[in-house]
Amino acid sequence: MSGAFWSRAGAHAESFDRLFAVLTGFSVLILLLVAGLIIGFSIRFRSGSKVTRHKVSRLVHREIEIGWIAATAIVALFFFWWTTSANLQQAGAPADAMEIHIEAKQWMWKASHPDGTRELSTLHVPAGRPVALYLNSQDVIHSFFVPAFRLKQDVVPGRTATMWFEADKPGTYPLLCAEYCGTGHSKMLGEIVVMEPGDFAAWLDSRPEGAGLIAAGRALFTSAGCSGCHAAGSAVHAPELAGLYGRQVPLADGRVVTADAAYIQDSILLPRRDIVAGYAPIMPDFADLLDEEEVAALVAYIRSLKGDTP
Ligand code: HEC
Ligand SMILES: [Cu+2]
């Protein structure tokens, strides 16, 4: 495995390292200040020394006290703002991001590319292009951890987790599972191979094309019976799914939710939980009928349906 754990790739890694260095430096400063005062006072006021002790309390003026409370509050708020905005930057993937689905299972990572290309425990991505990952687990909780990108995302069964990154330097970077997931946990290793866009396109061409997640989802949509209710001309009163992804959905109980990947997955597995306003709760529960991979295929297919093509 080439590429050291501490090697760095991507803009997020840079800002994370800067934040980490500043927080560490600041902690060391506070440590030195406190330790210095402890040592200084212990020497000055040691038993037997002839300093005047009754005046000590006057050392601390009101202004100084107000000053340090204000200063530390401002410093704390500054770090809060900095860490939060760094985290929020990670929250939503850019619209032009390349989408890759990851299935985690004991003890491997399975990746499927938009064109259906699949790979095991290795993920090839182009440099300089945002990549959005949609992660599912087939068994227990895993955690997708790429130290070089300074990114880690828990993958909980029954939920679709999302994360994104943009690698800037071609190279091979270790991929680890950072959640103890059974006896083979320490062997749940992989690699992220970042390639120049031209090399990546050539690599993709050289791979045998798989069935394709979206194509598999389209077939399932009919074979599992979804189209019976959701197809455009259906006699059943069910919502139109084209253009659903990313839309605000008003629910029967008054809440309004964003139709992200997790919402679509829940709509299939737990249809009773979020009922769309204006519809009867007649959708059957598919939790026992579909496995994780089939659900991932359906979610990918529904997400691919654009609003203008019903
Ligand atoms: C018996 C008819 C029926 C079948 C079969 C059915 N659905 Fe539904 N579905 C509905 C109805 C009615 C709603 C709206 C009420 C609700 O939210 O449960 C709905 C809601 C949804 C939603 C949320 C839509 C929105 O606008 O927020 C999704 C996603 C969905 N279904 C996907 C599927 C998939 C995938 C399948 C096949 C595995 C399927 N449905 C099978 C009737 C059905
Ligand atoms: Cu794991």
The pLDDT tens digits for 208-226 are: 655 577 878 888 888 888 8
Indicate whether 55 and 164 sit together in one domain: yes
Strands (DSSP E) found in the chain: 98-105, 108-112, 118-120, 122-126, 131-137, 142-146, 151-155, 161-165, 171-177, 190-195, 248-250, 256-258
Mean pLDDT of 196-205: 89
Indicate whether 158 and 221 sit together in one domain: no
- When pLDDT is cut at 50, 70 and 90, the band that residue 168 belongs to is confident
Residue 264 falls within a domain, yes or no?
yes
Output the CA 285–ligand 1 centroid distance in Å: 9
164 lines ligand 1 (CB under 6 A): no
Residues 300 and 309: their CA atoms lie apart, in Å, by: 16
Residue in 223, 209, 237, 230 with CA at minimum distance from that of residue 305:
230
Q: Is the dihedral of CA 51, 53, 55, 59 positive or negative?
A: positive
Is residue 102 predicted with pLDDT exceeding 90? yes
Name the residue of 283, 286, 293 to mutate for ligand 1: max ligand atoms within 8 A of Cβ.
283
Residue 183 falls within a domain, yes or no?
yes
What's the CATH code of the domain at 251? 1.10.760.10
Residue where one domain finishes, among candidates 192, 209, 226:
209
Output the CA 154–ligand 1 centroid distance in Å: 28
Is residue 310 predicted with pLDDT exceeding 60? no
pLDDT tens-digit map of 247-276? 899 999 999 999 988 899 899 988 888 899
Q: Are 167 and 194 in contact (CB under 8 A)?
A: yes
- When pLDDT is cut at 50, 70 and 90, the band that residue 307 belongs to is low
Residues 265 and 5: their CA atoms lie apart, in Å, by: 34
Residue where one domain finishes, among candidates 184, 209, 234:
209
pLDDT at 242: 87
- When pLDDT is cut at 50, 70 and 90, the band that residue 309 belongs to is very low
Query: What is the position in ligand 1's atom list of the atom closest to the CA of 225?
Result: 5
Token digits of residue 46 = 């040691």
Indicate whether 233 and 127 sit together in one domain: no
Residue in 132, 156, 299 with CA at minimum distance from that of residue 217:
299
Indicate whether 113 and 202 sit together in one domain: yes
Give the global pTM.
Answer: 0.62
Indicate whether 109 and 27 sit together in one domain: yes
- When pLDDT is cut at 50, 70 and 90, the band that residue 175 belongs to is very high
Indicate whether 118 and 159 sit together in one domain: yes
Residue in 137, 115, 302 with CA at minimum distance from that of residue 226:
302
What's the CATH code of the domain at 22? 2.60.40.420
Residues 171 and 27: their CA atoms lie apart, in Å, by: 34
Indicate whether 191 and 247 sit together in one domain: no
286 lines ligand 1 (CB under 6 A): yes
Is residue 2 predicted with pLDDT exceeding 90? no
Output the CA 99–ligand 1 centroid distance in Å: 24
Residue 85 falls within a domain, yes or no?
no
Mean pLDDT of 71-95: 88
Residues 232 and 37: their CA atoms lie apart, in Å, by: 75
pLDDT tens-digit map of 277-288? 999 998 988 888
257 lines ligand 1 (CB under 6 A): no
197 lines ligand 1 (CB under 6 A): no
pLDDT at 194: 93
**Could you list the residue range(s) of the whole structural domain that residue 162 is in?**
1-59+92-209
Give how far Cα 194 sits from Cα of 58, 129, 150, 171, 233, Å: 63, 10, 15, 5, 45
Indicate whether 190 and 252 sit together in one domain: no
Q: Are 261 and 97 in contact (CB under 8 A)?
A: no
Output the CA 267–ligand 1 centroid distance in Å: 7
Residue where one domain finishes, among candidates 159, 190, 209:
209
Kindly identify the ligand whose nearest atom is closest to the C-alpha of 235.
1
157 lines ligand 1 (CB under 6 A): no
Mean pLDDT of 126-140: 92
Indicate whether 205 and 272 sit together in one domain: no
Output the CA 141–ligand 2 centroid distance in Å: 7
Is residue 59 predicted with pLDDT exceeding 70? no
Q: How many domains does the chain have?
A: 2
Indicate whether 234 and 102 sit together in one domain: no
Indicate whether 201 and 264 sit together in one domain: no
